[in-house]
Amino acid sequence: MNKKLNVFIGIVIVLFSAFMYLLTGDMPKESALFPRGLIILFAILGILLSITSLKDKKDSSKDIKTIFASTKEALIGLGIITAYAVAINFVGFFIATTVFIVAFMIVYKQKSIRKIMITAVVLNLFIYLVFVYQLNVPLPKGFLFN
Amino acid sequence: MNMDILFDVVQHLFTLEAIVGLVVGVIGGMVVGSLPGLSATMAVALLIPLTFGMSPIAGLVMLTGLYTSAVYGGSISAILLHTPGTPSSAATALDGYELTKQGRGLEAIGISTISSMIGGVLSALALLFLAPPLSLISLKFSAPEYFLIAVFGLTIIASLASDSTIKGLLSGVFGLLIGMIGTDILTGFPRFTFGFSQLESGISLVPAMIGLFSLSQVMSQLEKIKETKKNKIEKIQGKVLPSWNDFKKICPTVLISSVIGLFVGMLPGAGGDIGSWVGYNEAKRLSKNPEKFGKGCIEGVAAPEAANNAVTGGALIPLFVLGIPGSAVTAVLLGGLMIQGLVPGRELFTVHATTTYSVIIGLIFANILMGIIGLLAAKHIVKVTNISSLILIPIIVVFSLVGSYAINNSMFDVYVMIIFGVIGYMMKKTGFHPAPVVLAIILGPLAEGGLRRSMVMAKGNLALYLIQRPICIILMIMIIMSVLSPIIIKYKKKRKKEAVA
């Protein structure tokens, strides 16, 4: 892994631990005991991570740029997925799912319209049969339609 | 187990629902396992919401069948494509792909199928005969013992982490902290809930797992989605069924590896990936021709495959007996058990005996069915890997979403899943393993509850109290050993290096 990255992570962990510790201020002593112990352990390990990474002689590290080279792609995908989840609240599950499948395939350049349609239809059908019909899970209908 | 129960089991197992569940689990597992990028953990996590509406036996038989079959399925692409379909097949890829290069790919598949089947059946039999008597121990378990065994499970996770011990420990502690979120049972005070009422009973386990394993994997796949595919599988020629001679050759290897896998599975936290490597290394060490390993010898395929399937039965033992997961997949399976209202412990073998024994015997059948289908269909199943990720990814995403929603009919859980997906992705990018997080989320509350109740029982002096309980002493020794062993191993390696230099 990358030295600088490890050191950075260690520091983030310590800061995060400090934040969590402050959150335990409100708790009754008994409830706070275990979390505080864990938080302190977390912080110590974070410090150890930073220190051992600093001392690490064999810098077999990958360039940070290489590690995160394609993260942009992943985050774009994540954005589409999150938009899909939010959309369910508005237009309901099945419409949102169909839009998602179509949008996804377009963004990632799936050329065959036939494949897009088959996937959308089969998937929606399968989920309807299994979850709504068989398992009686009420999938969201969306604000716009209620 | 007496004849009455056997009769009940047969009745319950041979219902249409259970048989369908079994077949779906086995075939589905093989398909999912053979797809690089989809792991057994992911598949089980995704299917748990489906088992909601199924009868306990059918649902659990499907999940356990899926588990063992996916572990086997990973070997198909490991052997033919040099890409392990699941982490448990990483060792199989070594000799397996060499055999493929020599035109003996189908032979290797045959070996893998038979080895996986035998490993799986043996471990399921072990589960059948060892778990019930071992479950009596759970009667002797009280708060102190649960605390210590949870700690033991946590130390194992940490010491087996990949990159660095510190990172493994950090993953574990992170999981422990996540487990703290929610209302403190003993005082009723909400911890770390930030005012969200949905967090008062803690982070929903199944959505978090789906996020950590499925969604994070989707994100990793998205990185490569624009790359063009090589390695299209065409028709493969050859015979799958091993010759009698080959079978005799691998028998000792398979038996030893199965025992290894069984024990690795029983260790809380150690799963198929560890089992397969230990099996491989031991087979190499004990072999008369260790230099053949890595160049295409059938023992190199038989050993890891027998071991990784033997882990499945072994990992179910601590799960059924104590509720302590023996591997990441069994951690997810625990969610499946709880959904059906089954609580691990002695009750599984008394009150719910029919269900439990049906599931175990179902697992035996699943392994056999897996072997048969594997021999018949492996060369066709591998064609599944031709399916483009463009189609697979949306399918997985939709399932992840529905599955996370269905547990509590809650969109909040869907957001939990997404957040954990990001967490899992970032963890993998920076060298942390997501698996310890899940195990810690489960073991953490167990440890804390056990500790606090023990403190009440001990009325002050905890250490003195623990020393008076024999099981506790044994557990404490095991904890110390598991913490010290990686350090000792490292030390020995250093000494060896210095001696050679």
Residue B196: which region, alpha, beta or left (left: phi > 0; alpha: psi -120 to 50)?
A: beta
Q: Which residues pair with B190 in a beta bridge?
A: B183
Q: Determine contact, residues B204/B420, Cβ cutoff 8 Å.
A: no
Measured distance between the N- and C-terminal CA atoms of chain B, rounded to whole angstroms: 59
> What's the pLDDT score for residue A18?
92
**C-alpha angle B89-B104-B31 in degrees, rounded to nearest 5:** 40
3-state SS, B36-62, equals CCCCHHHHHHHHHHHHCCCCHHHHHHH
Q: Which chain A residues contact residue B421 at CB under 8 A? A: 78
Q: Which amino acid is at B435?
A: A
Give the containing element (helix H, strand E) for B183.
strand B182-183
Question: Cα–Cα distance between B211 and B438 in angstroms, integer?
Answer: 11
A73 and B192 within 8 Å at the Cβ level: the answer is: no
Q: Which chain B residues contact residue A130 at CB under 8 A? A: 50
C-alpha B427, offset from chain centre? 20
B189 and A27 within 8 Å at the Cβ level: the answer is: yes
Q: Determine contact, residues B204/B416, Cβ cutoff 8 Å.
A: yes
Q: State residue B183 phi and psi, 5-degree precision.
A: -80, 130
Question: Cα–Cα distance between B295 and B61 in angstroms, integer?
Answer: 38
Rg of chain B on CA atoms, in Å: 22
Nearest to A74 among B177, B180, B223 (CB): B223
B170 and A101 within 8 Å at the Cβ level: the answer is: no
Q: Determine contact, residues B265/B326, Cβ cutoff 8 Å.
A: yes
Neighbours of A76 (CB within 10 A): 13
Distance from CA of A67 to the nearest CA of B (A): 7
Nearest to A131 among B391, B402, B448 (CB): B402
Length of chain A: 146
If you ran DSSP here, which 8-state letter would residue B226 be given?
T
Question: Cα–Cα distance between A53 and B148 in angstroms, integer?
Answer: 32
User: Per-residue confidence of chain B (501 residues) as pLDDT tens digits?
Assistant: 566 777 778 788 888 888 999 999 999 899 888 887 777 887 888 888 888 778 888 999 999 999 999 999 989 888 888 878 788 888 888 888 888 888 888 888 999 999 999 999 999 999 999 988 888 888 888 888 888 888 888 877 766 655 577 888 888 899 999 988 988 877 888 888 887 888 888 888 888 888 888 888 888 888 877 765 555 555 566 677 777 888 888 888 999 999 999 998 888 777 888 888 888 888 888 888 888 887 888 888 999 999 999 999 999 998 999 888 878 788 888 888 887 888 888 888 888 888 898 899 999 999 999 999 988 887 777 777 777 777 888 888 888 888 888 878 889 999 999 999 999 999 988 888 887 888 888 888 888 888 888 888 887 777 777 778 888 888 888 888 877 777 777 777 777 777 766
A34 and B187 within 8 Å at the Cβ level: the answer is: no
Question: Cα–Cα distance between B494 and B185 in angstroms, integer?
Answer: 47
Q: Which among B12, B7, B27 is positioned nearest to B366, based on CA atoms? A: B27
Give the torsion sign (CA, B430, B431, B434, B439).
Answer: negative
B223 and A104 within 8 Å at the Cβ level: the answer is: no
Q: Determine contact, residues B305/B115, Cβ cutoff 8 Å.
A: yes
Nearest to B219 among A28, A77, A101 (CB): A77
- How high is the mean pLDDT of chain A? 84
Question: Cα–Cα distance between B368 and A103 in angstroms, integer?
Answer: 43
Q: Which residues contact B497 (CB under 8 A, 6 or more apart)?
A: none
> What's the pLDDT score for residue A105?
84
Question: Cα–Cα distance between B227 and B229 in angstroms, integer?
Answer: 6
Write out pLDDT tens, residues A110-141: 777 888 888 888 888 888 887 777 667 778 87
Q: Which chain B residues contact residue A85 at CB under 8 A? A: 401, 411, 414-415, 418
Q: Which chain B residues contact residue A131 at CB under 8 A? A: 49-50, 402, 406
**C-alpha angle B203-A81-A71 in degrees, rounded to nearest 5:** 95
Q: Which residues contact B189 (CB under 8 A, 6 or more apart)?
A: A27, A28, A31, B183
Which residue out of A3, A4, A8, A31 would a mutagenesis test of the B interface target, given it has the greatest number of B Cβ atoms within 10 Å?
A31
> What's the pLDDT score for residue B237?
65
Q: Which among B17, B27, B30, B31 is positioned nearest to B60, based on CA atoms? A: B17
Distance from CA of A45 to the nearest CA of B (A): 7
Question: Cα–Cα distance between B330 and B417 in angstroms, integer?
Answer: 19
Q: Which residues pair with B191 in a beta bridge?
A: B182
Question: Cα–Cα distance between B160 and B276 in angstroms, integer?
Answer: 14
Q: Which chain A residues contact residue B225 at CB under 8 A? A: 73, 77, 108
Q: State residue A58 phi and psi, 5-degree precision.
A: -75, 100
In our burial notation (b when 16+ CB lie closer than 10 A, e otherwise), range B258-288 reads bbbbbbbbbbbbbbbbbbbbbbbebbbeebe
Q: Which chain A residues contact residue B214 at CB under 8 A? A: none
B401 and A85 within 8 Å at the Cβ level: the answer is: yes
* pLDDT mean by block of 10 residues, chain A; 146 residues: 82 92 85 88 91 73 76 89 91 89 84 82 84 75 68
For A:24-53, CB contacts with B below 8 A are 24, 27-28, 30-31, 33-35, 38-39, 41-42, 45-46, 48-49, 52
Q: Which residues pair with B183 in a beta bridge?
A: B190
Q: Determine contact, residues B117/B367, Cβ cutoff 8 Å.
A: yes
CA distances from B76 to B166, B242, B297, B375 (A): 34, 16, 16, 11
- In this prediction the ipTM stands at 0.90
Q: Which chain A residues contact residue B46 at CB under 8 A? A: none
Q: Which residues pair with A116 in a beta bridge?
A: none
Q: Which residues pair with B182 in a beta bridge?
A: B191
Q: Which chain A residues contact residue B395 at CB under 8 A? A: 119, 123
A45 and B223 within 8 Å at the Cβ level: the answer is: no
A73 and B452 within 8 Å at the Cβ level: the answer is: no
Q: Which among B94, B81, B135, B133 is positioned nearest to B293, based on CA atoms? A: B94
A38 and B177 within 8 Å at the Cβ level: the answer is: yes
pTM of the predicted model, to two decimals?
Answer: 0.81
As to burial, measured by CB atoms within 10 angstroms (0-12 exposed, 13-18 middle, 19+ buried), residue B93 is buried
Q: Determine contact, residues B336/B55, Cβ cutoff 8 Å.
A: no
